[in-house]
Structure formats: C-alpha cells, structure tokens
Amino acid sequence: MSAIAGPAAQPLTETDVARIRAEFPILKERPHGKPLVFLDSAASSQKPIQVIDAMDDYYRRYHANIHRGVYHISELATEAYEEARRKVARFIGAPSASECIYVRNATEALNLVAYSWGRQNVRKGDAIVLTEMEHHSNLVPWQILAQHTGASLRFVRVDDDGLLDLSNLDALLDGAALFAFTAVSNTLGTINDVATLTARARAAGAVSVVDACQAVPRMPVDVQAWGCDFAAFSAHKMLGPTGVGILWGRRELLDAMPPFLSGGGMINVVGLESSTYAGVPARFEAGTPAIAEAVGLGAAVDYLEAIGMARIHEYELRLTEYALSRLAQMPAVTVYGPSLAHRTGVVSMTVGDIHAHDLATILDSEGVCVRAGHHCNQPLMEKLGVAATARASFYLYNTPAEVDALVRAIDKAKSVFKIK
C-alpha cells in the first residue's frame, strides 16, 4: 500500500509526488548520464515497487496453476488471481467480478468482442460506427469484421479542435449494430463524453464498446455510469505489468457469446466430437492465464486506489496546463488537440520542420522519453496533415521540473536544427 493516501479533495503536493517517485525504481536510472524524464506513459507506464514485489512474491511463495490443484499453494494462487479480478471490478464499478475477463491486453479484448459478439450479431447491411480518432486496435478488428460480415463502416468526424463532431451522430447510428469509440484519444488527449455517446447508441439500438485504455489509468471510471456494453483496457498503462488486460462486458451479452479462443479451462464437458463450455468468465479464458500479471494488476489497482483517481486526474491536468503554457511560449512549437477543458495529459506536438523522429532522438539525448510517430493512429495523422508528431504524456510520477526539462530539450533540438 502506498503511503500517499488522501481524500479526493486534497490535491497531490510536491511532497506526495516525491514520495510516489521514490516508489518507482526505474526513475533512478540515468540514460546517457542524464536523469530519466519519462514522458511516454500513454504508451506504457512505469511500475511501482509494490507491483514488482507482488509478482515477485507470487513466483517465490505460491506459484502454481490455478483452478486445477487441490493443494495449498494452488489454492493461494487461485485466490490471488480471483482477488485481483474482484479489485478490478470494484475499481471500474462493474456490478460483478465475473463480468471482468482477463485477456492479454486491450487489443485482445477488442478482438474478442469483434470475433465472438461480432460474428454472431453483425449482419450484412448493418453499420459499424467508429470515430476518426481510434487507435488501430479499435479500428482494424472492426474492418475485418465488416469485411467478413458485409457490414459497412461509418466514422464520426474529428473537428479542427480535436473534438468529435456529433452533429450527424443520429444519422450515423441509424441502422448501426455497434458503436466503438475511445474514452480518451491516445494522440490528442481529447476526453470524450462517454455517457452521452453510449446513451445515443442505446437509443439507436446499437451496442457500445469503449476503448478505456487511456481513461482507466488516469481518471475515475465507472462502467455503469458510462452505460456502455463493453469496455477494454490494458494493465501496463495503469502501473501494472504487460501481458494482462481486461474486457468488461454486460453479463447478458457475455452469457450469450460463443468462445473466442478455446482449449483447457473454458470447457464444461468434453467429448471427442463436441464439448460444452464453461460459464462466464472462464469461457473466455482458455489455457493457463497470466497469473503473476493478474496479481500485479491487483497490486496496481491497490496503489491507484490508495492515492485516489480523482487526485491523479487533477494532478495530471495541473501538469498538462503547465506544459501547455510553457509550450505556448515557443513559437516554433505546434500543439495538436483540444483546449484544456476537454483534454488530459497527452500532448502531441511538432517543432518547426523537425521530423518527430529526429525530435525524439534529440530529446532522448537529454534523457527525455517521448513517443514519436503516428501513435497507431494513421488516419488521424493524415487528417492533421502531418506524417508524425512527438507526444509527451504525463502521469502521477511526473513533475513540473520534468516539463521544464522537456522545454530545455526542445530548445536544444531547435538549436541542432538551427531553428529560431
């Protein structure tokens, strides 16, 4: 348990953040002899010692396969795996832990919905509605589903401010089987009004799928308040390990869905010719799962809950506001995305005519880690008219001093490229 617990109304202080930073061993690293300034948490966050220790402890003391052994350490492993599922369910406001399915990552979660629910429910002539700001993981599975079923794809436009243009949403949703959209843009930082979008989908008779990858790590999430039918996210973006993620789905939908992957652990009775399948969630968890990673995810939820998601969100907004104000003073810097009122701690930018890759290389020479490229968001990049941007993303362990380091490193890049 972290020592930084406090009520939601009490903003994180400099001292709190210093104590948080001390719990992340990697922040002591010095790439190229410079302090590590990690501004790529939207791609994957760093891990506190509590998460690393929880996984280490599992491997040292009670590793065994789950739901199989009758012996003591297998029971311990099973209990830890299921306890982590209950923590996740509580964390996202799921009515029942059994609706939280362990998957490898959000990509697998979205594929599960596309293959299992999609192929059973989407028909030729149906529409699948997406937005122009989707990560490839919430685009390509639906393209494949559309090609397979003969359904059509429709897209909610992104306007010049980086917000969804909802003016024709009802027309787009007319005849739609499904509406899949992100809660928070991984490229622009835009926060979408999930509850409104799901309500519109419901009114049109469409099932709603929320890519919650960027939302769950950085703001309070309640899937019931969202009113969605499915939500997908990865552990590694929320202080947890790689290799595990969650698909939350509404019970009645999950109950009616066929298996996605099949094999051991998801069956009821197996014959040579056919088998019957286990209930939810086991039906969707074929094979030995990522047990240590699930335990690590549980520890990450504990860590985030102890600090409080409202406080984390508020702190991230403060950092973002500071970063935007510093970058606004740099004439060579173009920042993409909406105003602070509609965004979170993801800041995509270009600097003069410096390609994002070159910018990231120069920032790296100062120990500053940013993502450069299309952010798995090629259609949106085309729309912005840039091949690539550099993206800085902030999290609870970042500081205003690190924003200053980013600004200094951008100044260095301008100097190397001889830009005023």
Residue 213 binds to other proteins (criterion: CB under 8 A)? no
376 catalytic per annotation? yes
In terms of CB distance, is 30 or 60 closer to other proteins?
Answer: 30
Among 80, 145, 206, 376, binds other proteins (CB under 8 A): 376
| Residues 109-138: x where in contact with other proteins by CB under 8 A, - otherwise, as a string | ---------------------------x--
Among 69, 373, 379, 400, binds other proteins (CB under 8 A): 373
By CB under 8 A, the residues from 322 to 351 that bind other proteins are none
Among 92, 216, 362, 403, binds other proteins (CB under 8 A): 362
In terms of CB distance, is 176 or 356 closer to other proteins?
Answer: 356
Residue 36 binds to other proteins (criterion: CB under 8 A)? no
In terms of CB distance, is 19 or 34 closer to other proteins?
Answer: 34
Q: Residue 93: exposed, middle, or buried by beta-carbon count in 10 A (0-12, 13-18, 19+)? A: middle
Q: Each residue of 243-276: b (16+ CB within 10 Å) or e?
A: bbbbbbbbeebbeebebbbeeebbbeeeeeeeee
Residue 361 binds to other proteins (criterion: CB under 8 A)? yes
Segment contacting other proteins (CB under 8 A): 9-17, 143-151, 158-166, 360-368?
Answer: 360-368
- Which tokens hold the place of 366? 């100062």
The dihedral region occupied by 38, where left means phi > 0, alpha psi between -120 and 50, and beta the remainder, is beta
Q: How far is the CB of 168 from other proteins (least distance, A)?
A: 29
In terms of CB distance, is 139 or 231 closer to other proteins?
Answer: 139
In terms of CB distance, is 311 or 371 closer to other proteins?
Answer: 371
What whole-number distance in Å separates Cα of residue 351 and Cα of residue 362? 12
Residue 411 binds to other proteins (criterion: CB under 8 A)? no
Segment contacting other proteins (CB under 8 A): 3-11, 183-191, 227-235, 380-388?
Answer: 380-388
Segment contacting other proteins (CB under 8 A): 8-16, 171-179, 264-272, 356-364?
Answer: 356-364
Residue 410 binds to other proteins (criterion: CB under 8 A)? no
Residues that bind other proteins (CB under 8 A): 32-33, 136, 353-358, 361-362, 364-365, 372-374, 376, 378, 381, 387-388, 412, 416-418
Residues annotated as part of the active site: 376
